[in-house]
Amino acid sequence: MKITVVGAGAVGATCADNIARKELADEVVLLDIKEGIAEGKTLDMFQCASLMGFDTKLIGSTNDYSKTANSDVVVITSGLPRKPGMTREELIGVNAGIVKSVVENILKYSKNPIIVIISNPMDTMTYLAKSVAGLDKHRIIGMGGTLDSARFKCYLSKAMDVSINDISGTVIGGHGDTTMIPLTRLATYNGVPVSQFLDADTLQKVAADTMVGGATLTGLLGTSAWYAPGAAGAALVEAIVRDEKKIMACCVSLDGEYGQKDICLGVPVVLGKNGWEKIVDYKLTDDEQAAFNKSADAVRNMNAVLDTLSL
């Protein structure tokens, strides 16, 4: 098993570090365009190996895609991060060109990888990657819903003052401050609906905090968060390479599911060795479906911007 992470910034490096520590692959390659960054970070990671008890081979590369040859899974984190006050959508002009180039270069050396997209705006970058790659749609996956669901569970745990590991919660729709949909109706605490523990106002606040979870961290940190995004990417990769058949919220290509076509959007999917294997129908209420449709409209408008760019 060989896994490549493209982009050695904070998110990419954290993702690669998690993958290495979990020993998800025999070899992990970290690639970046900036001289020495990937080499330095992978060396630093490997110096943790005897301390942390892992033995994954780590390779850093400055823009030499030949070192990514025959990768089974590729995680793309490349692109500009958000700054305070920026939306994910404002990154499209620069990041679209970067993601397109990365996908093309990866496919020169790896014929049929599973590609995981973390770069923002994530839904549109996933749609772009699918268009550029020409791979089976099940092999192109956007990470956003996995991270958003983790943030949802974080805020539920805080509101209830209970173990986060006893919380189940899912966020669907777009990976944007106004497009994601925390499914409060379906969230549970050890199998019991959270609505039995939290009143409607508190649940609404949890949902609102989840939706701006990324922006909150950007405001505090001065740049995009990295621990949870990196861990979310690694968790998604783990479900794939270990063929776990886990249900996780991911951005995937829809063809009529949830009432949408020709779009990549966050829905619950079963993950396994072939990528996303099937979409799970959560039987949305009319209000939830209306919110999902509104989210799809916003993402589709963003996808249309791709046509105006010189890619």
Extract the annotated binding site for NAD(+): 7-12, 32, 95, 118-120
Under 8 Å CB-to-CB from 11, ≥6 apart: which residues? 77, 81, 118, 224, 226, 229, 230, 233
In the annotation, is 175 catalytic?
yes
H-helix or E-strand containing 249? Answer: strand 246-255
Distance, CA of 177 to CA of 175 (rounded, Å): 7
* Count of helices and strands (H, E) across the chain: 10, 14
H-helix or E-strand containing 195? Answer: none
H-helix or E-strand containing 11? Answer: helix 10-21
Instruction: Give the total residue count for the chain.
Output: 311
Distance, CA of 129 to CA of 124 (rounded, Å): 9
Name the burial class of residue 12, with classes exposed (0-12), middle (13-18) and buried (19+) by CB atoms within 10 angstroms of its CB. buried
295, 181 Cβ separation under 8 angstroms: yes
Instruction: Supply the DSSP string of 50-101, one letter for each residue.
Output: HHHT---EEEEEES-GGGGTT-SEEEE--SPPP-TT--GGGGHHHHHHHHHH
User: Of residues 41, 67, 139, 175, which has the active-site annotation?
Assistant: 175
Q: Tell me which residues are annotated as active site.
A: 175
